[in-house]
A and B are shown apart, each in its own frame.
Chain A
Amino acid sequence: MAKITFITTDNKTITLEGTSGSVMQLAVDNSVPGIDGDCGGVCSCATCHVHVAPEHQTKTGEATEIETDMLELNDYANEQSRLCCQIEISDALDGIVLQVAESD
């Protein structure tokens, strides 16, 4: 079981618990504003963009090259960016805080 906290673009805090699947799916299932997951989690739409605080980045591991390429052209991306469809839920994520990214 992992506790995952989302901070929305209007600074609301939503904490959810998950055991499996992707962080995107957890967010979509619980209607976290700003996480749409349009493509269902295959890394093609970038509508599940989050920023991971530096102190939590070891919990998520590194983005793959394809995910990095996807983020490279996102106007709101920075070195903390991840697509949360590519973050699998496990106990390792417990306590993580994710800032939902701005989008156009």
Chain B
Amino acid sequence: MKKSALPDPFETARNTKGYGEMNDQNDPVTMILGHKDVRKCAHNWKTFQSGATPGRIVVPSEVNIRDTRQIPFEVDPPEHKGYRAIVEPWFKRPLEADYTAALTKQINAIVDEVLTKDAVEVVEGFSLRLQSRALTLLLNTPYEEAETWISWGTHVFRSEGNALDGEKANILYDYIDENISKAIENPGNDLYSMLLKATLDGKKLTREEIKGVVVLTFSGGRDTIVNAVTNAIAYFAEHPKSLLKLKNEPEIACKAVEELIRYFSPLTHMGRVVTGDTEVCEHAVKADSRISLCWASANRDARVFENPNEVILDRKINPHVGFGFSHHNCLGATHARQIMNILVNTLAEKVTSIDIIDYKENIEDLDEFKRKVGYDKLTVKFNGQ
């Protein structure tokens, strides 16, 4: 098996039962594995709730380390619609020409820089830096802020070997509190200031609500983007013809990004709390228990995707759920897609090949399933044109 491959550990369970089970800190999770079942459950917000105790729908659960409700992600319809309407235009800004130009400049600079080095550790030395710098555009804050976020490392919300790390999470919360206070004193054009101005049903958002949106912005797009970028580098390292194909056929870049997201599925799954006794895949699930929508499994469902374990860069029909599905589809998807699109084009333009020097896989422990989601470390040499 190639080093860049992300195997599908869910295939047998998906085809035989349709679900898997894992114990998450004594709050068990029934994992929904099939593409159709995942989409149906994701759509059924009345039975499978997001607006539960803050932190409970995340797997591993974060109920012991936070009380702040992440918005709009941990709110159900109909309230969800109002919150989403406030933030949606802001999170569509990556489509604007100025934003795209600034992001292109950032990505060009970091690719040019790594091309001068003999070895680059991609997770911290490329992906985290790229993600943190790009986040300054999403928040519309000074570029220098990225240095603070880079200094937190890739695991600011969770520490290695410890799924829950309240102390680390508090660094982020204190930072956000401080920035909300600064924006109250000196309103500007940043995300904090936009949220301070916003109203919902004629009322301003509370400080706690603003914090909930910003925490989501930080946490939702960190390891997911770091994994997507790192996995893409590993993939191109072992498939240099793909880089050439993308160079010769730049028009397939959008399709390639969707396919890489399908194959990598940077977020393995997301939970929901069951509001009443029901069943999924002929399996009883009790009220107040949890299910998870396993995007990673759904994205390899052979009933939907031909050759699901192969990356087909110009896959034409690709109904993947890598950005989730239904009301709660990924708020940061536009930003993530732009990052990946520009990255793919920049690499195709500037890089001929990438050599993997060393790597350590990041394997998620999901009880009966062990899933590679990316790398803890990936050291490579970029070779320019």
Of A8-16, A37-45, A52-60, A92-100, the one touching chain B:
A37-45
**Interchain CB contact (< 8 A) of A42 among B255, B304, B323:** B255
**Which A residue sits closest to B85, measured CB to CB?**
A104
Which A residues lie within 8 Å of B81 (CB)? 104
Q: A66-B317, A73-B326 are in contact. Are A41 and B40 (CB under 8 A)?
A: no
**Which B residue sits closest to A37, measured CB to CB?**
B254
Is B320 interfacial (CB 8 A cutoff)? Answer: yes
Asked if residues B316 and A42 are in contact (CB atoms below 8 Å), the reply is yes
Docked pose: A51 CA to B337 CA in angstroms: 27
Which A residues lie within 8 Å of B84 (CB)? 104
Residue tally, chain A, CB below 8 Å to B:
14
Docked pose: A45 CA to B347 CA in angstroms: 26
Asked if residues B39 and A43 are in contact (CB atoms below 8 Å), the reply is no
Docked pose: A69 CA to B318 CA in angstroms: 12
Is B43 interfacial (CB 8 A cutoff)? Answer: yes
Q: A42-B255, A104-B84, A104-B327 are in contact. Are A69 and B43 (CB under 8 A)?
A: no
Docked pose: A39 CA to B325 CA in angstroms: 13
Interface centre among A40, A42, A73, A104 (most CB of B within 10 A): A42
Asked if residues A40 and B327 are in contact (CB atoms below 8 Å), the reply is no
Is B74 interfacial (CB 8 A cutoff)? Answer: no
Interface of B is mostly: helix
Is B276 interfacial (CB 8 A cutoff)? Answer: no
Is B333 interfacial (CB 8 A cutoff)? Answer: yes
**Which A residue sits closest to B329, measured CB to CB?**
A45
Asked if residues A44 and B258 are in contact (CB atoms below 8 Å), the reply is yes
Asked if residues A43 and B254 are in contact (CB atoms below 8 Å), the reply is no
Docked pose: A40 CA to B259 CA in angstroms: 12
Docked pose: A40 CA to B320 CA in angstroms: 13
**How far in angstroms is the closest Cβ of chain B from A38?**
7
Is A2 interfacial (CB 8 A cutoff)? Answer: no
Asked if residues B36 and A42 are in contact (CB atoms below 8 Å), the reply is no
**How far in angstroms is the closest Cβ of chain B from A101?**
15
Docked pose: A75 CA to B296 CA in angstroms: 25
Is B188 interfacial (CB 8 A cutoff)? Answer: no
Is A87 interfacial (CB 8 A cutoff)? Answer: no
**Which A residue sits closest to B321, measured CB to CB?**
A44
Is B206 interfacial (CB 8 A cutoff)? Answer: no
Asked if residues B258 and A69 are in contact (CB atoms below 8 Å), the reply is no
Asked if residues A42 and B326 are in contact (CB atoms below 8 Å), the reply is no
Asked if residues B258 and A73 are in contact (CB atoms below 8 Å), the reply is no
Q: A104-B84, A104-B327 are in contact. Are A42 and B318 (CB under 8 A)?
A: yes
Docked pose: A44 CA to B77 CA in angstroms: 22
Q: Mark B197-221, 1 if CB is under 8 A from A, else 0.
A: 0000000000000000000000000
Which B residues lie within 8 Å of A38 (CB)? 333-334, 337
Docked pose: A42 CA to B43 CA in angstroms: 20
**How far in angstroms is the closest Cβ of chain A from B185?**
36
Docked pose: A41 CA to B258 CA in angstroms: 10
Q: A66-B319, A104-B327 are in contact. Are A40 and B43 (CB under 8 A)?
A: no
Asked if residues B254 and A44 are in contact (CB atoms below 8 Å), the reply is no
Which B residues lie within 8 Å of A45 (CB)? 323, 329, 333
State the 7 A-B residue pairs at the shortest beta-carbon distance, nearest first: A40-B254, A42-B318, A73-B43, A42-B258, A44-B319, A43-B317, A43-B319
B residues apposed to A, CB below 8 Å:
36, 39-40, 43, 77, 81, 84, 254-255, 257-258, 262, 304, 315-321, 323, 325-327, 329, 333-334, 337
